[in-house]
Structures are given as C-alpha cells and as structure tokens.
Structure 1
C-alpha cells in the first residue's frame, strides 16, 4: 500500500481507485478508508477516488501525540502531493467533514468542489450531541449497539445484519482513539468558514442526532454560496443507508458546471 509523508514525517497510507476527475473521500473519527467500502463504487465509475487512513488508523503511522482536524488536513495535502495532484474535489463525512473544512480554508487552490456530510463547524458554535448520548457511548457494554442505532434506522438494521463499516477501526491503539476524540471535539473552524471559496454542498440526515441536523443549515449559512440538502429519515450514516439518494446528489453536484 502506498504512503505519503506528512510534514512531521508521519507516513499516511492512501488508496486510489477508478478513473476521472480526482475525488478525495474522508472518513469519520477513528475510522480508516473502509468507511467508504459500501458506497465507493458509486463514485469510482466517474471519478478517481482517493481515500486515506487517518494517522492512528489502518496502515498509517500511529504517533502518540496530539492530533487535530487541521493537522489531518495537512496529511491529506501530503497525499495529494504524493499523487502529483494540484486539485481535487473533497467529500468529507462526520470528522472527515471537519477536516475538509480546513482543507478548503488553508489550501483553497487544492480544492475543486466541497461536500460536507453529517458534520458541524465545531462544538463552540455548532449543535452537539446530548449528554445522554455521550453517557451511552461511554458504556463499553452498550457502545456498539448505541452507535449502530445512531448510524442507521431500526428497519435498516433489521434487514442488514452486517458487516458494518462505520463502527471504528478495531486495530487502533487505545491512545489513538483518545487522540481522535480530542481532535474532533476541539474542532472550531467557525471564524474561517466565510473564507471558503469552493462551491459547497452540505448533506445531512434529518434524523441524525449524533451530529444534529441543525448543523447543516449553520454551515450552509456560514460558507458563501453553500446550499444544504437534508435527506428525510436518514441518520448519521445517511451516505450508506440512503445511498440511492445521497450518491446521485453528490455526483450531480460534482458534475455541474459551476466553480470547477
């Protein structure tokens, strides 16, 4: 598996598939590139898709030091550099959407179009999950089931016994999981969002309480020219359960002539 080298020397694993305009797909907190496995084929037919294993996950290095969403964005830029890509579209979900915000802020010339899924501007100005959810996720005996119910509707879970790709990288060291949690919790791009120049689509499930759906309109109002689309009935993993709606929406946005 190829690796890029981040500015601090950390080796970042990446994966490339498909042909066409490059599209970077960014996964959620404490997950690696397999987050995208169920739906990646939707994009491979029209795009050269690029995924990464966040530092601390998968085949990337796992330094035991402070991580940040802004630092993760620099890791993604290192991958673009390794591939010789001056510019790519970026689709980030959950924590990947937070990282994508920094990519568009810090390296606007590297981002074609921007898609932000089930994410937020950060805890200071955004809408956060309830304390009840936080307590439930902190209970090891309940974490997996609670997380599944936050990701998917009960009906979908009843019809789909797994495997599931959004529950975290089970090979991660415990310290790396903690580093990811802190990085995501400390994210705050609010003051910089108005500087984003990339055409931006914000996607969110209406029934997402893991990252509350109210964050979608916040982001759309804060980023110039952005628009929000809410997917009725969807929870946090809208891109998987509601792929028949979500993937075509992203592909249509990327194919439109504005801004790219």
Structure 2
C-alpha cells in the first residue's frame, strides 16, 4: 500500500488509478478516498487519478486532535505528490476537500495545474454560513435522525434510495472520535478570503443550486475572488452534485481539465 510521510511523520495513504496527467481528488470532511468511487471511473479513463485518505480517515494515520488543519491537509497532499515524484498535478476538491484545494493552490502554486472547486466555501466571516440548525441536527444524539439529515443535505428526496452505494459520501464509519473532531475544527477554521486573489491556477467552480449544507452563495464568492475563475451552477442539485448530476458535472470537469493541460 502506498504511503507518503507528512512533515509530522503521519503516514498518508493514497490510491492511484488510471493513466495520463495526474489529477488529485480530495474528498469531503470525515471521508476517505472512497468518497469518489461513484464517479472516479469517469476520470480514470483520461487521467492518472490520485486520491489520498485525509489524515484521520481510511488507511492514513490519525494523530492527536491538535494535528488537523486545512493548511496541514494541503501539506499532506504536497507530500503525496513528492512521494509520487509528481511536480504538478490538476486538483479537484469537493466540500472540505475544496478548502484543502484552495489552500494548496494558494500556498503551493507551483504544484497545481488546473483547479476545480466543488460545493465548497472560502470560509471565515465573509462566507455564506449554513443555517445553525443544520449543525445541531447533525450533532443529535439520535444518530439515525442525524444520518437522515445528512442524506437530505447530500441528495434530493428519494435519490439515495434509488442509487445504492450513495452512502459512500456519508463519512468514514471507522474514523476515531478525536480525528472526527479534528476534521470539524479544521473545516470550521478555514479562511482563505485574503489568499484567493493570489491563486494563479485556472479555476472552475461548481455548485448545486439547492445546496444548503454549503450555500450556493459561496460559489459566487469564490468565482469573484479567484482571478479568471469560471462558474458552473447545477440546477436543482444538493451537496453531492457530483453524484446527482454525474454526467453534466463530470463532463464539465473533464472539458475544463483538457482545456488546461499541464504542459500548456
């Protein structure tokens, strides 16, 4: 199993598939690389996809709670690229993975080719916040009710029932409690507002119009703050737009990446 070693010696697992230019796929909060399994084949056919397990998830190490931040997640991705001997790669991050992708593009601009940000937020006081009731519902002691809330945030009514396997985006069930808290704190602590104008990578921003988990207004902010960014809103999609509107979203991402080859 391939592992990179982070600066604090944490082992970061990564999964590699396909061939072609490298494309890093970054999953959402408290999720490992299986987040991408429903759509990953669409990208493997054209790119060498690299999907890390965030620290604390999957097969990666789970250090103490203080060792989690968006900047550290981004440095972990850079360590994965180093381990692979890859100087530059395209990066597609969704949800918390989109926050990691922002930080990677701002702090390590030489490592990022084309950048795709999905269902994510710039963070901080300038972001469009979700209804506080969502956090309370997800933190309910009634775990079955909390899971139903999460499914409703991810998908339109009935979609998950019609599409077996969609639970792959509902979190890593084997994740330790301290790592789960670390992920939550890292995501909440993200604020890239002042750094977004420094991003030089060609950028595509995607978002479902019916996403209330990460309200769609955040996509507008990202597209405005990142120089030259392109915006695609997916009508009627919720947070897991990449699953619900796989064909449309996947084609848009592939077209964008092909438009910006690493050697271009």
Q: How would you bin the TM-score normalised by the shorter chain?
A: over 0.9
1:4 is paired with a residue of what secondary structure? strand
Distance 1:258 1:199 in 2: 10
The answer on 1:123 being equivalent to 2:139 is no
1:109 is paired with a residue of what secondary structure? helix
Q: Structure 1 residues 150-159 or 217-226, which shifts more? A: 150-159
The corresponding residue for 1:71 is 72
1:246 is paired with a residue of what secondary structure? helix
The answer on 1:103 being equivalent to 2:104 is yes
The answer on 1:205 being equivalent to 2:208 is yes
The corresponding residue for 2:53 is 53
The answer on 1:253 being equivalent to 2:248 is no
The corresponding residue for 2:89 is 88
The corresponding residue for 1:37 is 37
Contact 2:130–2:213, Cα closer than 8 Å, also in 1: yes
RMSD: 1.2
Q: TM-score, normalised by structure 2?
A: 0.96
Per-residue deviation at 1:132? 1.4
Distance 2:6 2:138 in 1: 32
2:103 is paired with a residue of what secondary structure? helix
Contact 2:204–2:230, Cα closer than 8 Å, also in 1: yes
1:191 is paired with a residue of what secondary structure? coil
Distance 1:42 1:54 in 2: 22
Mind listing any 5+ residue stretches in structure 1 that lack a counterpart? none
The corresponding residue for 1:231 is 234
Distance 2:94 2:54 in 1: 13
For residues 89-238 of structure 1, the aligned pairs below 5 Å read 89-141=90-142, 142-238=145-241
Distance 2:119 2:241 in 1: 8
1:228 is paired with a residue of what secondary structure? strand
Distance 2:61 2:158 in 1: 38
Deviation track 1:150-169 (CA, whole Å, cap 9, x = no partner) reads: 00000313422445111111
Mind listing any 5+ residue stretches in structure 2 that lack a counterpart? none
The answer on 1:23 being equivalent to 2:49 is no
Per-residue deviation at 1:140? 3.3
Q: Structure 1 residues 124-133 or 23-32, which shifts more? A: 124-133
Runs of 4+ in 1 over 2 A off after TM superposition: 160-163, 257-260
Distance 2:156 2:43 in 1: 24
Q: TM-score, normalised by structure 1?
A: 0.97
Distance 2:187 2:26 in 1: 14
Aligned length: 260
Contact 2:113–2:261, Cα closer than 8 Å, also in 1: no
Distance 1:117 1:16 in 2: 21
